[in-house]
Amino acid sequence: MAEFFNEYIFGDGPWSWLGYVVAALIACILVIHVVAVGAMGFIWLERKVAGRIQDRLGPTRVGGKFGWLQTLADGIKLIAKEDFTPDVADRFLFKIAPYVAFAASFSAFIALPFADGVVANHVNTAVFFVLAVLGLEVFGVILAGYGSGSKWSLFGAMREAAQVVSYEVPLGMCVVVPVFLCGTMNLTTIGNMQEGFITNWLVFNDPFTFVIAIVYFTCATASVNRAPFDLAEAESELVAGFHTEYSGLRWSLFFMAEYGSMFLVSGLAVILFFGGSNGPIPVGDWLASLLGGVDGSIGANLPSLGAITVGVIGVANFILKGIIGVTVMIWIRWTFPRLRIDQVMSMCLKYCVPIAAFCFVGAVGWEVLDLPTPNNFDEKSRYEYHEKWSQEYLETQRQTKPVENNTHAQQAVPAEAIVTTVAVSQSAVEVNGGKQ
């Protein structure tokens, strides 16, 4: 994107740095809109789903027959409300807590690819980055509970801390399985390796991976503090939990962070288990072949029409599957009763952890024994994806960070070196019988 602005607007002169600034601002605005606008849509969806489950209509007035603008009206009302701060509260912690929670949910989207090439920042260790940043959201809850000066808020924060720390264990074991099968922590590569028909999706790789996907979704629901695991804000016990003392804009930030995290963990599940931006059938590839393929361009730094078509269809597939995941979370909330705190911890320690550990060993054993799978994740295809990504990444780095002097040129790693390293690693695998 920065190259496009430099090519057509700012040029390669002394103002070329503005291209990178504008590209960064556009990426930031797009990510913010994904979190904020997506949260508004999910709140409306939850109201309609809850209404139907409870045999009522939900929002029907503001914005027309289906109440499309009800969430926007509520947001304007929250912004106009007075922002209260309790006298006994730690003012600094109380005020900063909502922003910490929202920033954690917002920042994790930076490394989440919506399609091949449609990502704010291409991170090679995106799996680790997303999980690490998402785990920071609990700090916002802890700061809110401690800084409010209320025992109800403090109890809710303590429950959230214990719950998140516990469920991170089985969640991590579930995430490791797709990383092991694909041989990379790059989310873009993991998604691309599932291209083709639905049988290539990792959820269908073996029976253990199918169970792992279910366990992941359960642990992810608990990690984002959704019912029936929302003990941090149990209204029947703790008034409103950690955000009891909040109102107005700061209260709405907690809600945007929650719904943003719901889409984040659903999107991560889509990439890790459900094909990423690939649909059940490769419609995008068929259309791209009719439009001239994905290679080439229609102008400087502009992709071909086929590549644009694949990108648009990929983003639509990803968003649709993410919405389905959020809808399932909403359905679970309004279907199952809230668990007690002891039941929440028992669910994690007695069921999720043992099942995740057993399925992890089973998935590894299935791969080591080279048992039949419906996909084509052989060693050759793995290295082909790694080689392709290495070349594309280095080419991007050379375009965005030109060499200024001979010292930097000596430190630059040529693409041929990485390709050679990949080839040597592939030969070593073949010598060892084709097993990692």
Average pLDDT over residues 37-42: 84
Chain centroid to Cα 119, Å, comes to 11
- Percent of the chain clearing pLDDT 90 (strictly above): 24
pLDDT at 33 over 60: yes
Buried-exposed string 349-386: b where 16+ CB fall within 10 A, e elsewhere: eeebbebbeebbebbeebbeeeeebebebeeeebbebb
Written as one letter, the residue type at 263 is: F
Q: What is the pTM of this model?
A: 0.80
Write the CA distances from 105 to 94, 133, 196, 435, integer angstroms: 18, 8, 31, 38
- What pLDDT shows up at residue 286? 76
Residues 6+ apart with CB under 8 A from 116: 188, 191, 192, 277, 310, 311, 314
- What pLDDT shows up at residue 177? 94
- What pLDDT shows up at residue 71? 87
Q: Are 252 and 78 in contact (CB under 8 A)?
A: yes
pLDDT at 57 over 50: yes
pLDDT at 423 over 70: no
- The confidence band for 254, taking pLDDT boundaries of 50, 70 and 90, is confident
pLDDT at 402 over 70: no
- What pLDDT shows up at residue 162? 86
- What pLDDT shows up at residue 62? 87
Q: Are 175 and 127 in contact (CB under 8 A)?
A: yes
Distance in angstroms (rounded) separating the CA atoms of residues 24 and 247: 32
Average pLDDT over residues 74-88: 86
- What pLDDT shows up at residue 7? 60
By CB neighbour count within 10 A (0-12 exposed, 13-18 middle, 19+ buried), where does 161 fall?
Answer: middle
- The confidence band for 136, taking pLDDT boundaries of 50, 70 and 90, is confident
Average pLDDT over residues 360-377: 85
pLDDT tens for each residue of 216-232? 999 999 988 887 888 77
Looking at per-residue pLDDT, the higher value among 419 and 211 belongs to 211
Looking at per-residue pLDDT, the higher value among 149 and 208 belongs to 208
Average pLDDT over residues 423-427: 45
Residue at token pair 């029947």: 236
H or E segment at 141? helix 137-147
- The confidence band for 427, taking pLDDT boundaries of 50, 70 and 90, is very low
Listed range (123-132, 149-158, 243-252, 400-409) with the worst mean pLDDT: 400-409
